[in-house]
Amino acid sequence: MNVHSGTSNSYYNAKAGLLLIRPITLKPNWSRSGLSTVKAEKSSGQWECFEIENEILSTALYLLRMGNCAQQLQKKHSRSVSDLSDPSTPRFRDDSRTPFSYAQVIPFTLFELETITKSFRPDYILGEGGFGTVYKGYIDDNLRVGLKSLPVAVKVLNKEGLQGHREWLTEVNFLGQLRHPNLVKLIGYCCEDDHRLLVYEFMLRGSLENHLFRKTTAPLSWSRRMMIALGAAKGLAFLHNAERPVIYRDFKTSNILLDSDYTAKLSDFGLAKAGPQGDETHVSTRVMGTYGYAAPEYVMTGHLTARSDVYSFGVVLLEMLTGRKSVDKTKPSKEQNLVDWARPKLNDKRKLLQIIDPRLENQYSIRAAQKACSLAYYCLSQNPKARPLMSDVVETLEPLQCTGDPLIPGATTAAGAAFAMGGVPDYRMHRRFAKNVGPGAVCRSPNPNCSPGGPAACRVR
């Protein structure tokens, strides 16, 4: 279902959860191809003829692409993934210095994936999204000799023509070459006829979205939320600092998956884009993403930068701090948009505790809450240049991993009071977004993962 957003050139796709901006339609000019110029005064019948011919041409090109796809992907694995991409998809260098190779990804047959999902039985469904349905499966030596035994998640992409193929190809292109502890691992793919499938590592604990907002799920603790925030931040920082920077473009709670240890991993790279290079300041692209998470300047102009991801990270961090969704129509009108409601309170010490998730009571210090809220505040700046880099976000979150579950104001222990007053360094908005702890500072957190009295654990590096 498409809902107009109130402007003539944009609409919201409710099924996919996407806010889309209609591209401006220009008058076609065929002079360079030897055809006569099409004038605006032509009759409606002639325009219909032009549109039909254009559709036939597009369909023919698409079918030709589909026919060649499987043959291309089955060629020797040392071949560069960029050879398979079209001009709209990212290209990476594929030489001896590149640590990522396509050989890490397994080409599966459709029959094999039907076998491990019991012909995609409904009771094997793990989840459904705008780009397809995800099923649970299990691969082992019985499926194919030499396969390592492990559970997997099989995503079947919706058959949406050329756009669906591009999203599938984008995921293979990025995840087939990029490896990081905070990116979901792509194990394999399938490209047969018009079928497009992806095989990922299975993430036992599902999405961050479910843990934050499902009433049947136990609430995440403060320390676990900070750990997840750090892991997700490291994933984004890795993408932004790659040899060819990558802009994730669809950072949200449903795309952050958690393994058995609650390690956060970014998934769903269908909208990812190769970032600007050299003197380029941005990438101009069609506006796509999820309503409530997209940076305002990107929605308005289509100019995409790494700072667009930083804004989306700020929204997710705010969701973790408040326990509220980015957009919630069940709330009073002034509270439906989380950023509009919460951001003015993030730097107000008197109002800050009013917006923290009440389920986190007695799990954090005032200083830790102030630092986390201040970080969210700057990530959500309207001015992209005022937002921190993701590497700075990582540095700011690292000392918050020391907080454990100390008492909040009213702490009765000396250690709790000392931690609340000075265990975490002040947050400062300068060139660096974190300040080193002075010599002799110690970690007083009861968190068993921190070394009592150990200075290194609490320092921002």
Name the pLDDT band for 409 (thresholds 50, 70, 90): very low
- Choice among 50-54, 59-63, 88-92, 104-108 with the minimum mean pLDDT: 88-92
Name the pLDDT band for 292 (thresholds 50, 70, 90): very high
Check whether residue 357 and residue 391 sit in a common domain: yes
Residue 375 lies in a domain: yes
CATH number assigned to the domain comprising residue 370: 1.10.510.10
| Contacts (Cβ under 8 Å, ≥6 apart) of 295 | 307, 308, 310, 311, 312, 384
Name the pLDDT band for 168 (thresholds 50, 70, 90): confident
Last residue of a domain, one of 180, 201, 222: 201
Check whether residue 270 and residue 323 sit in a common domain: yes
Check whether residue 194 and residue 258 sit in a common domain: no
Strands 246-247 and 273-274: antiparallel
3-state SS class at 295: coil
**Tokens 């136990």 found at:** 218
Check whether residue 140 and residue 227 sit in a common domain: no
Cβ 189 vs Cβ 107: under 8 Å? yes
Q: Which residues are annotated as a binding site for ATP?
A: 155
Mean pLDDT (the chain) is 74
Q: Per-residue pLDDT for 338 more than 80?
A: yes
The single-letter DSSP state of residue 140 is -
| Residue 452: CA count within 13 A, CB half-sphere | 4
| Contacts (Cβ under 8 Å, ≥6 apart) of 195 | 110, 156, 159
49 or 172, greater pLDDT: 172
The pLDDT of residue 68:
54
Mean pLDDT, residues 72-85 taken together: 38
pLDDT digits (tens, 9 = 90+) for 9-57: 444 444 444 444 444 333 344 433 333 333 334 444 444 444 444 554 5
Check whether residue 147 and residue 229 sit in a common domain: no
Check whether residue 316 and residue 180 sit in a common domain: no
Q: Residue 362: give the domain boundaries.
A: 208-458
Residue 225 lies in a domain: yes
Percent of the chain at pLDDT exceeding 70: 64
CATH number assigned to the domain comprising residue 186: 3.30.200.20
Mean pLDDT, residues 359-368 taken together: 91
Catalytic residue among 250, 268, 357, 392: 250
Alpha-carbon span 317 to 338, nearest angstrom: 11
Residue 21 lies in a domain: no
**Tokens 């640590």 found at:** 99
DSSP letter string, 215-284? TTSPPPPHHHHHHHHHHHHHHHHHHHTSSS-EE-----GGGEEE-TT--EEE---TT-EE---TT---EE
Nearest in space to 242 (alpha carbons), one of 313, 155, 179: 179
Residue 157 bridge partners (DSSP): 132
The pLDDT of residue 389:
97
Q: Per-residue pLDDT for 369 more than 80?
A: yes
Last residue of a domain, one of 167, 201, 235: 201
- pTM comes to 0.69
Strands 264-266 and 256-258: antiparallel
Nearest in space to 327 (alpha carbons), one of 111, 12, 1, 7: 12
Catalytic annotation present for 259: no
State how many domains the chain has: 2
Check whether residue 282 and residue 410 sit in a common domain: yes
Last residue of a domain, one of 201, 220, 238: 201
Query: How deeply is 42 buried, as exposed, middle or buried, from its count of CB atoms within 10 A (0-12, 13-18, 19+)?
Result: exposed
